[in-house]
Amino acid sequence: MLAGLSEVAGLRRGRKPDHLLVPPVFSSPISVPKPVKGVQPVGAVWDMTNRLRSETAVWHCVRAAALCAIFALAAGPAPVYSQAKDPPAANTTQAVSEPNHCSRQVEIVDATPDAFVASLNRRAQVYEERGEFDCAIREFDRAIELKPESSALFNNRGLAYRDKGEAGRAIEDFNEAIHLNPDNAIALNNRGNAYFDNRQFDRAIQDYDQALTAKPDYAEAYNNRGGAYASKGDLSRAIPDYEAAIHLKPDYAEAHFNRGLALLKMGAFDSAITEFDRVIKLKPGFAEAFNNRGAAWNEEGKHDRAVEDYSQAIRLRPDYAEAFYNRALAFHDAGARNRAIEDFGNAIRLKPKLPMAFNSRGSVYAEEGQLDRAIQDFDEAIRLEPGYANAQRNRTLAYAQKAGQAQVASGTASQP
């Protein structure tokens, strides 16, 4: 099977070289933010997710200003916002100038300072949802100037910085949110996600621990901690965390997904398939679940079912390079080399810097005897990743096979 890459010592006379394809690409763990109930002075709580064997875990994050959840694609946990209840009906209208280059929003209508702050907080979140992070941060700045004692506002601005890619400033804001309220489980969870982004998994786990101490029924924190353990390779601790999250929220699709991914990595394919079945029932549009279930089917030798799942993942996400790559592997395993080459090409078209796709397509070309095209692909894989040992071995094999053919041809030509 293609579950791993084995070493190739060299060519034996009379034996066809073993060109190595790369194993399937799984979709990473995901955590989808869901409304988190809790008393926050301002705002709502959201959770966000990650994914990629798509090979990552799914996380949750929270924001302040109305309880809601967000789905994020990435390699780490997602933010959680905190939100307050809607302000009371207003009697006056206060116009707030829009930050430069920010899209228009409705003017803020309010009667009290607290209501005005809550409105700024909501506006900031709208900007953030639109991807206008600088505009969101400016609105949070204004709100914090009026209410500097609000832990929720610092939490929410931290999320805006994190979404903007400024993890350091995000952590500073989460630190302040926690300083103002040491039991703010949402801010602890979000800081853990920021540490996760920086691959500081131990620090992330410490924050998830504290979030769970402050809020023992925090399903998203269990899910996120499980993702951190999984990223450290400690699946024996990741799976119980996913199960704890599922116990608290039986319909928590992302936790089911992450548990399925862990089982897949452990080789428990039947159990992984059962878990992905649950995910698909809960979220029929979850492309990553189809991708990973396809990988499990392929590992069991059920290539037709694998192709069906990869094809559904592609229908749901036409730009899903990993699913094209995996479907190519399934076609290859089923003996359909031309279709495998075509799908490796699709993966490369979507992700031109994916060295494993070049290596695997080169391997299929080599199997087809198209050694020049194989060598071109191995060259490109090595150019993209100079230390790519498998591509280097494959290229060496291809050159050796080509030299052997030339020798045979030369010998045949010299015979009377």
Domain ranges of the chain: 25-249
One pLDDT digit (tens) per residue for the chain, 416 residues: 333 222 222 222 222 334 444 455 555 554 333 222 222 222 222 222 222 234 434 444 444 322 222 222 222 343 343 332 222 323 333 334 455 567 766 555 545 888 889 889 999 999 999 999 999 999 999 999 999 999 999 999 999 999 999 999 999 999 999 999 999 999 999 999 999 999 999 999 999 999 999 999 999 999 999 999 999 999 999 999 999 999 999 999 999 999 999 999 999 999 999 999 999 999 999 999 999 999 999 999 999 999 999 999 999 999 999 999 999 999 999 999 999 999 999 999 999 999 999 999 999 999 999 999 999 999 999 999 999 999 999 999 999 998 888 777 666 555 55
Rounded distance between C-alpha atoms, residue 363 and residue 325, angstroms: 13
Asked if 338 and 315 touch (Cβ cutoff 8 Å), the reply is no
Write down the pLDDT at residue 42.
Answer: 28
Domain 25-249 of CATH type 1.25.40.10: yes
* Burial of 93 (C-beta count, 10 Å sphere; 0-12/13-18/19+): exposed
**Cα Rg for the chain, rounded, in angstroms?**
26
Write down the pLDDT at residue 299.
Answer: 95
List beta partners, residue 93. 109
| pTM score above 0.85 | no
Write down the pLDDT at residue 404.
Answer: 83
Question: What b/e sequence results for 111-129 when a residue is b if at least 16 CB atoms lie within 10 Å of its CB, and e otherwise?
Answer: eeebbbbbbbbbbbbbbbe
Write down the pLDDT at residue 106.
Answer: 52
